[in-house]
Amino acid sequence: MSRVRICVVAAAVAGVASPVGVAHAGGYSLHVLANGQVAWTDNLFSVPDQDPSGVLPEREGDVYYQFRPGALGTYETPRSVHMLSYDLEANLYTRHNEAWSLQHIASWRAFFLTSPRTELGTSAQFSTGALTTLSTRGAASDGTVTGLPSASGESQFTSIDVGQNLSYTATQALRLTQGARGRSFSTESIGTETTGIEIGGNVGIDRTWRYSAASMQLSSSFVTLERIVAMTPVESNDQVNASAIVSWRRDFGPRWSSLLDAGATGIIPLDEGDQLVVQPTVGAQLGYFPNWGNAGLNLRRSVAPNLYLAQNTISDSAIVHAWLPLPWLARDVHRPRLTLQTTAGAQRTRLIDTATGDVDSGFDVFSGDLAINYAMRDGVTVSLRAQHLRQVAAEDASMEVLGYNRNTVMISITGRFPDRLAAEVPTRESLRVDRSNVTPVGEEAAPAQAPGGGGS
């Protein structure tokens, strides 16, 4: 533990003492990233309200601090953009020094204009460290609700995620897409180890009209899931997941857009004795895109392997999210000083037993996340944020996710120095048919604090 404390203190000092980054008007820029946070939570270890076993720690609150120094480099050529970053996340607790933890996150993203009609995007991320239930790395408006570990004690993880996507504009109305992805997530805690690996690809076609668009996507992946629990047989599954989805998008004026999709996912077992599982998927989405920011409602039923749990899952979710400017202190409509971010929703997750083909009990998550942000200057933002999480798990669920309640309040300051990027990977995916909210190639996506911008 002494090594962890030394590294945590070094990380904090590095975040304060690092020299100001260097930006060049030419093809590259170097930046220092800094993020500091102080927070209070009423359930530090995410302990369930009831513990019939009597082995879990008591529910208690604590004040904790997070320091996340990092570095960012960008590089641009006439036909490509690269962004390379590294963060060191240190979590410190006032009354529980034994819970101090570190995470390392390194990532690379790139965009290539491979021809006048084709665009290629690539990404890679590696992260490792202590698995914590109090991660606040995601924005308050990221639009996701997920189950989190509870009372997990000393748990380490390693995650690798690489991806590639190619888009070919055959005609003004017809676009072809191709993608590939590989990801791995492994955890190790007292008495339990999990490993999840997924490697796959997809192809799609998109046909647009003036206000509407139709698309179809086919995807397939090889998945291996393994859970090792002390004193029990090793659980291991090898499978192929295949899915087909058709969708319809529609623009309603310059601000509103919608999407409907339907399809099916099949889990094809490769282990003798397992059963073929086929489940329907469906989704509906409504998006709002003002001059600055965005908001949306997402209803979805999805089937996918959960690499953290090392199990196949069916998830039904209803989520609303927004990142919108507030009218006060505004300089202009494209550079607000005061903004609101929020995500609220519920998700019901059930486990698929591939040995029998049955859908077993699982857990439900109810989440609310709200942040008020003040941009003190370009690249420096102060935020006040509050979170509520309620997780309800079935007593017979075979997994490490337990039910608990937690409330958290935090104040943070985020900065990038210097603020201006020499280059930024453009945002090219869009819910809108007219693609009016994609990032023009060769331009910075947005000011540092804007949705889609290069915040830290």
pLDDT digits (tens, 9 = 90+) for 156-190: 899 999 999 999 999 999 999 999 999 999 988 87
Q: Are 287 and 429 in contact (CB under 8 A)?
A: no
| Contact of 412 with 37, CB cutoff 8 Å | yes
Please, are residues 313 and 351 in contact by the beta-carbon 8 Å criterion? yes
CA distance 297 to 293: 14
pLDDT range class, residue 59, cuts 50, 70, 90: confident
Q: Reduce the secondary structure of 145-194 to three states and give it as a string.
A: CCCCCCCCCCEEEEEEEEEEEEEEECCCCEEEEEEEEEEEEEEEECCEEE
Tokens of 329: 């202190």
Q: Are 220 and 242 in contact (CB under 8 A)?
A: yes
pTM score, whole prediction:
0.85
pLDDT tens, position by position, 260-294? 999 999 999 998 888 899 999 999 999 999 988 99
Residue 322: is its pLDDT beyond 60? yes
Reference 341, options 443, 284, 410; nearest CA is 410
Token pair, residue 339, equals 């903004």
- Report the pLDDT value the prediction gives residue 87, as an integer from 0 to 100: 95
For residue 426, is pLDDT > 60?
yes
Residue 396 CB partners (closer than 8 Å, separation 6+): 360, 361
- 33 pLDDT more than 90: yes
Q: Which residues, 6 or more positions from 394, have their beta carbon under 8 angstroms from its beta carbon?
A: 361, 362, 363
Q: Average of pLDDT values for 115-122?
A: 95
Lowest mean pLDDT among 14-28, 39-53, 162-176, 359-373: 14-28
418 prior amide bond cis, ω within 30: yes
- With cut-offs at 50, 70 and 90, classify the pLDDT of residue 456: very low
How far is C-alpha 399 from the geometric centre of its chain's CA atoms?
22
The pLDDT assigned to 18 comes to 41
pLDDT at residue 124, as a whole number = 98
Q: Answer whether residue 34 shows pLDDT above 50.
A: yes
Give me the domains of the chain, ranges plus CATH numbers.
Answer: 2-417 (2.40.170)
Taking the CA atoms of 378, 379, 382 and 386 in sequence, report the sign of the dihedral they define.
positive
Q: Give the pLDDT of residue 149.
A: 61
- Is the Cβ–Cβ distance between 143 and 343 less than 8 Å? yes
| Rounded Cα–Cα distance for residues 46 and 234 (Å) | 27
